[in-house]
Amino acid sequence: MGLMVHSLEGIPEGHHRDYYIYLLDYGWNEPLSEALKKNFNRMATLASEQKNAVVIMPTEVGAHFSDQVLSWHSINGDDADKNDLLPAILVTNRHPVEFKQRRDSQIERIADDNLKLILFPLKKYCKDTTEVIDLIQKIFLNIKQENDLDYFSIKTEKKKGVGGALVDSIIFEPNFAGMGFSFNKFKKFLRGED
């Protein structure tokens, strides 16, 4: 079983966005995943207002996918269960058509030369759905307004080829002590300019 993404065909290959926001779960019903689903319309609206992002959400009839970088049990070499990585909000530069190519292809590897992942895990940092909604609003408002991510700090940063990392990735955690993460660094990271 892989992660679920809805409507891989919904965004044409030539339709580019600065980043793509995926709501990741593992297809199980639980309160944190339900909070993501219930707030999808709000997140999609916030992302579409800037015309630089798109939000993709799992549904009951979503497309399962799994590759060497992302699956329900491993994200860029990290054990998803052990590290409480799912459910999560994933911000990446990977177009949905690439997930479709991986799903439909018999080829084990498709080049991930420029793939960047930014993950906001929910389980470890949100005790209930109210906290999930609060976290979602902070993430999306900061992205929409291009503000620094004041409420987040880097928990883990991995460089491709180092320590088992297949791609460059950042895992954020809530920040309770001041300095956050620069939005300019956020954009540069996704563009591969870091």
Sequence-ordered alpha helix ranges (H) in 23-153: 31-38, 40-50, 96-104, 129-145
pTM: 0.80
More confident site: 173 or 179: 173
pLDDT tens for 115-164 read 899 999 988 788 888 888 888 888 878 877 888 888 888 999 999 988 88
Tell me if 132 sits within 8 A of 153, measured CB to CB: no
Q: Which of 15-19, 130-134, 165-169, 188-192 has the lowest mean pLDDT?
A: 15-19
Q: What is the pLDDT of residue 6?
A: 46
Is the model's pLDDT at 51 over the cut of 50? yes
Q: What is the pLDDT of residue 104?
A: 61
Q: What is the pLDDT of residue 140?
A: 79
Q: What is the C-alpha to C-alpha distance for residues 128 and 122, in angstroms, rounded to an integer?
A: 10
Q: What is the C-alpha to C-alpha distance for residues 76 and 14, in angstroms, rounded to an integer?
A: 26
Alpha-carbon separation of residue 129 from 3, 12, 83, 184 (angstroms): 21, 33, 20, 30
Position 178 confidence tier, pLDDT thresholds 50, 70, 90: low
The structure tokens listed for 161 are 């080829």
Q: What is the C-alpha to C-alpha distance for residues 112 and 76, in angstroms, rounded to an integer?
A: 11
165-178 mean pLDDT: 85
pLDDT tens for 54-104 read 777 655 555 555 677 877 788 888 888 888 888 888 888 888 777 667 666
